[in-house]
Amino acid sequence: MEVKHFSEIEAEFIERVHTMVWCNAATVDSRQRPRSRILHPIWEGSTGWVGTHRNSYKSRRLERNPHISLAYITDIMKPVYVDCTAEWVDDLEQKVRIWNLFKDAPPPLGYDPAPTFGSADHEDFGLLKLTPWRIAIVTFPAPSHEEGQRIWRRREEG
């Protein structure tokens, strides 16, 4: 079932992704082959944030194609799928804000990024902003495929 407004799924979306924490993330390489990895986003409404290595294979893949597909499947009866565009945010104030968001959130969602990156201004600390264009919240079992999922799509403005 399609929902018109993100607010219709927001509470359940945040509850699920902040409980599952880790997701499978797929990008495509220069030959258009998929590549998966595990990511640990934190969400503010419909915006996701990932603190990650700025100079990585993921970085090079996203330069060529900014689309990324996430699958949260810790609970196989309640998966969440998020199709996004990703962009690097280099603004130090924003990097510090998200660094603190991760640091101050309770585990397992929260963690201290300092052991990996040192500080928010470290050259290898990258802040990846995820902007979904489609979110699917699925619940099994369901009487039908349509009844087992709620899908929100970002509407183009203008």
Delineate the domains of the chain, giving CATH numbers in brackets.
Answer: 2-153 (2.30.110.10)
User: Residues of 93-122 as b/e, b for ≥16 C-beta within 10 angstroms?
Assistant: eebeebbeebeeeeeebebebeeebeebee
Task: Determine the residue type at 121.
Answer: D
2-3/149-153 β-pairing: parallel
Tell me the three state secondary structure of residue 114.
helix
Task: Give pLDDT, residue 158.
Answer: 39
Task: Give pLDDT, residue 145.
Answer: 66
Task: Give pLDDT, residue 29.
Answer: 87
Q: What is the pLDDT along the chain (158 residues), one digit of tens a residue?
A: 999 999 999 999 999 999 999 999 999 988 889 999 999 999 999 999 999 998 888 888 898 899 999 999 998 999 999 999 999 999 999 999 999 999 999 999 999 999 999 999 999 999 999 999 999 999 988 776 677 899 999 986 43
158 is written with which tokens?
Answer: 């203008």
